[in-house]
Structure 1
């Protein structure tokens, strides 16, 4: 059985020609007519910058967030696929988790949502299945613009539901959603992998193309809670390994983050990364060899 699981971020899209993340930010500011008072600054965490743009816009234009997110969904959907996306699919992983909103990893827009429930806003169960690969869009997707996770408030709501799912149990009206917490279900050996969160406690995950900036509060909480469960609480066994890939040229300047990843039981793997295409090709080849061994 193929149990290969990947968590992939936006950097693989940077191989493709087209719009950069900074270009998208500028387009959002232009769309909201806030260019005269909202300044792009690397010191501003993006979820709070998004709130600044949106709140400034609604004070002036009475802009609806649905309109803004629909605009962002259109822009994200314009991202073009490249050879790395196809090479990832060729690995035939069982599951691909991604923070990306568009469907370049799938290779085409999915026609069927295979989630346990149809989420409109948050993304605990958001899944599409194509060619025997399950794709989990953990920060929302372009087909559902209001699910796109950008602002501080959205991150907070996502984290609240994640913690309920793992620690205290869920309160969804659907009878299909298990009410017991993930921890209780792991203890009872009743994990059915309805959510992407399940894999963080049960399966090896290879993480690449993801900067894991500290604004990703939902993922950092999950890493921290998993590590606490393994080394401190010890309510359930945690035997899986998380692998984080980083270009070796970025290692010296990323020591602060890599130290935190190590403390959270994440194994860091650095590879030559000056050539982005060669870097991701080497990651895929390395994972492919591990899979076949």
Structure 2
């Protein structure tokens, strides 16, 4: 665990007081004047629900997506930090990947975007650096509202660019972006961590606070492609490990998802989760202990 890499989702924000996800959905519907037309239903995958809300509003009120995403960015920026955010920073990871849009993990609004290119919509290279930690907002950030990945169309575009980056190579005009695919560069030992995607093939990753619902098509594709490379194609070495943390109380009900993760070479780690704050503190403690053990053994 030379480079500690974390992938963190929105559930760590639920420790903070404030707006719930359902509250945000209702606010979006209200903002779009779609309350009479759109019904919230758990059976609707969120990226398609977002399209329903936006398209309904677009047809009836000519709302611009730019205005809707700016509203969502403002709401996301209102999320307050809690003790978990600082505890995560104290682990001193080399990289933090997050699906969150706000900057509570950084503890401050970053002064500089350190991506090799400035992306307006998608987030293949979206990176900020604060106190020697690289933060990758893989679904966009609230400083760039149009980058916020919510709808089915946005997920499709993100996945298209991800697959190009990994499999066929890129077509960006910038000379800073490598043109050969990630697979070719791994063969040539020329991986320089231009993108958060690189880390899925090189470094151990600890995933927590992220439900990994099947609507996260970009992440499920990446996990599947990585596993196929390791067990089927065997075109490139895949030496790293990926760990997914889940409360013990959710294991039985989540068996279908955990089976799929296991098939995709993800190690499941379950810990007592009745106390949400205590659950995440135990994850942070466990990762910290494992890192110290590896560090001590490597310096003997």
How far did 1:112 drift?
0.3
CA distance in 1, matches of 2:215, 2:266: 18
CA distance in 1, matches of 2:37, 2:119: 35
SS at match of 1:252: coil
How far did 1:102 drift?
0.2
Q: Show the counterpart of 2:275.
A: 275
CA distance in 1, matches of 2:2, 2:134: 12
Q: Residues 8-157 of structure 1 correspond to what in structure 2 (within 5 A)?
A: 8-157=8-157
Q: Show the counterpart of 1:290.
A: 290
How far did 1:7 drift?
0.2
How far did 1:195 drift?
0.2
Q: Show the counterpart of 1:175.
A: 175
Partners of 1:2 and 1:93 within 8 A in 2: no
How far did 1:105 drift?
0.1
Q: Residues 200-215 of structure 1 correspond to what in structure 2 (within 5 A)?
A: 200-215=200-215
How far did 1:21 drift?
0.5
CA distance in 2, matches of 1:231, 1:285: 32
Q: Show the counterpart of 1:162.
A: 162
**Consecutive aligned runs of 4 or more in structure 1 exceeding 4 Å deviation:** none
Q: For structure 2, list consecutive stretches of 5 or more residues without a partner in the other structure.
A: 294-300
Q: For structure 1, list consecutive stretches of 5 or more residues without a partner in the other structure.
A: none
SS at match of 2:134: strand
Matched, 1:266 2:266: yes
How far did 1:23 drift?
0.4
Q: Show the counterpart of 1:245.
A: 245
Partners of 1:92 and 1:133 within 8 A in 2: yes
CA distance in 1, matches of 2:108, 2:23: 24
CA distance in 2, matches of 1:101, 1:18: 16
How many pairs align? Answer: 293
How far did 1:36 drift?
0.6
Partners of 1:54 and 1:65 within 8 A in 2: yes
Q: Show the counterpart of 2:216.
A: 216
Q: Please, what TM-score do these two structures have when normalized by structure 2? A: 0.97
Partners of 1:95 and 1:133 within 8 A in 2: yes
How far did 1:2 drift?
4.7
CA distance in 1, matches of 2:261, 2:115: 30
